[in-house]
Structure 1
Amino acid sequence: MLLGIAKHRAVSAIVSVNVSVSAMGNISFHVELNNRKKSDGTQSIQIRITHNRKLKRVSLGKSIPEEHWNPEKSEVRKSHAQYRQINTLIRAKILELERAYLEQSIMNRPTTAESLVMKLKREITGESFIDYAKARIEKMVSPWTRKSQASVIKKLEEYVGTKGLFFLEINYEFLVNYERHLKKQKNGVNTIHANMKTIKAIYNEAFNSGYFVPEKGSPWILYKPKKAKSSRAKLSETQIADIEKLELNPGTIEWHSKNIFLLSFYLQGMRTSDIMQLQWGQVKGDRVEYTAGKTDKFRSKKLINRAKEILHQYHYPGLRPTDYVFPFLRSSNKAKLTADEWIKVIGSKNALINGHLSTIAEKIGVKKISMHVARHSFADIANKKTGDVHKVSDALGHSSVSVTESYLKAATRSENDDLVDSVFS
């Protein structure tokens, strides 16, 4: 077998026509054109690997019109401008596959067509997109961003399976097919848009840093994921009043859930993770001052009387500035957990609160209430009462008003206070 390999290599190095088939025991390699034409009329050159009667194909990252391909010699005709370069690439990759198979055979390691495909893909298309994405996510400072982006990449990884995903495989066709898959998995239009936005950001970062160069330009030029107008659950002022009037047993989880929901609403849609971690040292007279976990920005919120009444129910002598206002996290030691582990604790407590808010929703006759509904409700009521989108956006702590509607300017602290007075007067 070794003699046959050596003979083939000698011939391949001199005559390009003999790179089409290389038989080595129970494995063979054959260069061919993909039968499927691309949108530009070209067909990709691929290597077909046959091992124990199982076929695997891998693209060489080059595409040509069919008339420039010689199927008998399995090479590019001289009529193509880059025939020398492409034929050299073909020979090199065949030799690499033979060498890899031979090395594994000498060391008595099992070799499969799939493992050879993976090896060749890495050499042709660069490192795995999935691996690059995971490494990028690990470096992110915000645990909330790590969590959301890791979820997106996990979903993508499940789709591509064990064959992996390489940068040059991310083309227009791949993106369209993945979008169709997400739709079949019952993902909403905006969820798909958010997923694709994350994938695009990772792709563009790799491209801009010179990590790889796409063969035919960025696929994101052609692919534009759709975004639908959001229909978010929200409550009216009357429904908020119905929650206020509910008589619940003090000290129960349902009672605490009601109070944290209402305080989030009164504090201009304060995010769940922030209000759950609210400490007494952050309550300063008529204000709540804290650094938002998601944006890492300082926030100062005016306390209206109804918010003070809720806080009063939790205040007792001997409290320390580092004590939590609400009891949900009191049994958890943040200092002993990583940032990612702490997020999971907050997520589980949020799920607990939302479960009790669902019970409250039934009692006041609405479909659904969650902690995020407090945020949506404040935004909707404030916008209807004031008509000032940029003030509402700043009160919510959005990075831009485009999240709320369209960005104009950031509101000042006094403007935020005016907004609170307008909404809760």
Structure 2
Amino acid sequence: MSQITFDAELDPYEKKDGTHTIQIRITQLRKKRRISSGVSVLKAHWNPEKKEIRKADPLYRQKNATVKAKILELEQEYLKSSLRRQPVTATGLVRKLKKEVLGDSFLQYADRRIEIHSSPATRKAQRSVIAKLREYRRQEDLLFSEIDYEFLEAYQRHLKRLGNSTNTIHANFKTIKALYNHAVKSGNFEPERISPFARFSVKKEKSKRAKLTEAQIEALARLEIRPDINEFHARNIFLFSFYTQGMRTADVLQLTWGQVDKDRLTYTARKTGKARSIKLIPKAAEILNYYRLSYQKPTDYVFRFLKGKNRKHFTEDQWLGVISAANALINKHLTALAVKIGVPSISMHVARHSFADIARRKTGNVYLVSEALDHSSVSVTENYFASAKREENDGFSDTVYGVDD
């Protein structure tokens, strides 16, 4: 086992309050590792020859004792491992002391933070990001203090090697940054230096959204499909989403007859919590009429994909799984229909993209549609449609779908 030495030294970086952190330098085979002692002093109060804090610092006794205690702790850990003939490295000692001095595991904090998030979809997405990060660490912990610029660069290279797209990498780092920043703002972690995210950034590419033209939408609508098979119902729910201004999949799947009032849909968008009132154009009404029965209850779903499923019997996360499974089933049949009309692919989200593109082209209002319905800001879209007067939105709908008064 190679010899390890321990020394105190002053970090050259000056913090906002003018002080410098006293670091503990751990040297093994000429390789050095450094860790904060948790003590900071003014540069003038540090004696580099004696490696201690001068008496000019009012708390010099306590601070010197703290630094010496941390060094002693490392020496004792090193001695224990040596006596047990267990391998010990400078990196391992740094990891141990970092956890004791600076505490906190980023991964454990992330787990706790994710579980209290109100959105099950967000919880699912963030869990995936942290699981990927945990796999990269090979199940070892990741401390806040270990997240620096070099770590972020290395993790970015790792994600690229895995074949993640630019936008997927961007989304991963966006989640990690948000969790890190929340820990700092809430006082769970205090970085010694400027946040590594202040200098580190990940590019995001403009996504190429799959969409159908009006002619392709019409081809899908005219497609001869045997009634009451899954392909038939998948086609109907896709077209209904398109005819209702790109209604989101989760909303259209959970649409009940109680939300249908003659020529209008009135519902609350689950993603944004905003109330929406949409005029039913004749083509959308025609689809509804197919499913309308005399004995329906207001709580019955319009479309069959959630038939027999009672929201009250599921947790939020379980219900998200139910919605995801229904969406996957619909997309499976839409993929088969895409072949029949000669397009590369169709999914439920394509209905939203298609509406956005056709609406932008027909109205010429880039702000209202291109920014609105997403594709740079979904919130602008939701705000517009939620706040617009009913007549304005109806007129917009008539223009897009070519409905005559």
TM-score (structure 2 length as normaliser): 0.80
Task: Report what 1:371 is aligned to.
Answer: 348
Give the one of 172, 183, 188 matched to 1:206: 183
The alpha carbon displacement at 1:135 in A equals: 0.8
Query: Shift of the alpha carbon at 1:232?
Result: 0.9
Q: Distance in 1 between matches of 2:381 and 2:349?
A: 22
**Structure 1 residue 99: deviation in Å?**
5.9
**What runs of 5+ residues in structure 2 fail to find an aligned partner?**
14-22, 38-46, 55-59
Percent identity over the alignment is 50
Alpha-carbon distance in 2 for matches of 1:377, 1:421: 16
Q: Please give the alpha-carbon distance, in whole angstroms, between the structure 1 residues aligned to 2:251 and 2:50.
A: 66
Q: What residue is the counterpart of 1:414 in the other structure?
A: 391
Compute the TM-score of the two structures, normalised by the length of structure 1.
Answer: 0.77
Q: Is the 8 A contact 1:389 1:404 kept in 2?
A: no
Picking from 284, 303, 318, the partner of 2:280 is 303
Structure 1 partner of 2:35: 60
Distance 1:275 1:409 in 2: 19
Contact 1:361–1:367 (CA under 8 A) maintained in structure 2: yes
Contact 2:246 2:352 in 1 (8 A): yes
Match of 2:333 among 352, 356, 366: 356
The match for 2:43 is none
Aligned-partner SS, 1:366: coil
Q: Secondary structure at the match of 1:162?
A: coil
1:329 to 284, 306, 314: 306
The answer on 1:188 being equivalent to 2:165 is: yes
Aligned partner of 1:339 in structure 2 is: 316
Corresponding position of 1:78: 49
Unaligned runs of 5+ in 1: 1-25, 39-43, 51-55, 63-75
1:272 touches 1:350 (CA, 8 Å); kept in 2? yes
CA distance in 1, matches of 2:264, 2:236: 18
1:384 positional shift: 1.1
Deviation at residue 28 of structure 1 after TM alignment: 7.5
Of residues 208, 211, 214, the one that matches 1:231 is 208
- Tell me by how many angstroms 1:419 deviates: 1.7
CA-CA distance at 1:387 after TM superposition = 2.0
> Aligned-pair RMSD on alpha carbons?
3.8
Match for 1:224: what amino acid? S
SS in 2 for 1:299: strand
Secondary structure of the residue aligned to 2:194 is: coil
Question: Deviation at 1:392?
Answer: 2.5
1:416 maps to a residue whose letter is: N
Task: Judge conservation of contact 2:81–2:88 (CA < 8 Å) in 1.
Answer: no
Check 1:275–1:215 CA distance in 2 against 1; reply closer, same or farther (3 A cut): same
Match of 1:259 among 236, 255, 279: 236
CA-CA distance at 1:324 after TM superposition: 0.5
Alignment CA distance shift 1:365-1:162 (3 Å)? same
The alpha-carbon deviation at position 125 of structure 1 amounts to: 2.9
Deviates more, 1:210-219 or 1:386-395: 386-395
What's the counterpart of residue 377 of structure 2?
403
* 1:127 aligns to 2:104 (yes or no): yes
Q: How many residues align?
A: 375
Q: What amino acid is aligned across from residue 364 of structure 2 in structure 1?
A: G
Q: Give 3-state SS (helix, strand or coil) of 2:200's partner.
A: coil
Q: Distance in 1 between matches of 2:294 and 2:371?
A: 35
Separation in structure 1 between the aligned mates of residue 113 and residue 306 of structure 2, nearest angstrom: 30
Counterparts in 2 of 1:408 and 1:270: CA distance versus 1, 3 Å: closer
**Residues 1:31 and 2:2 aligned together:** no
| Match runs of 1:380-391 below 5 Å | 380-391=357-368
Distance in 1 of aligned mates of 2:267 and 2:195: 42
- Contact 1:391 1:416 (8 Å CA) reproduced: no
| Other-structure match for 1:158 | 135
Give the drift of 1:409. Answer: 7.0
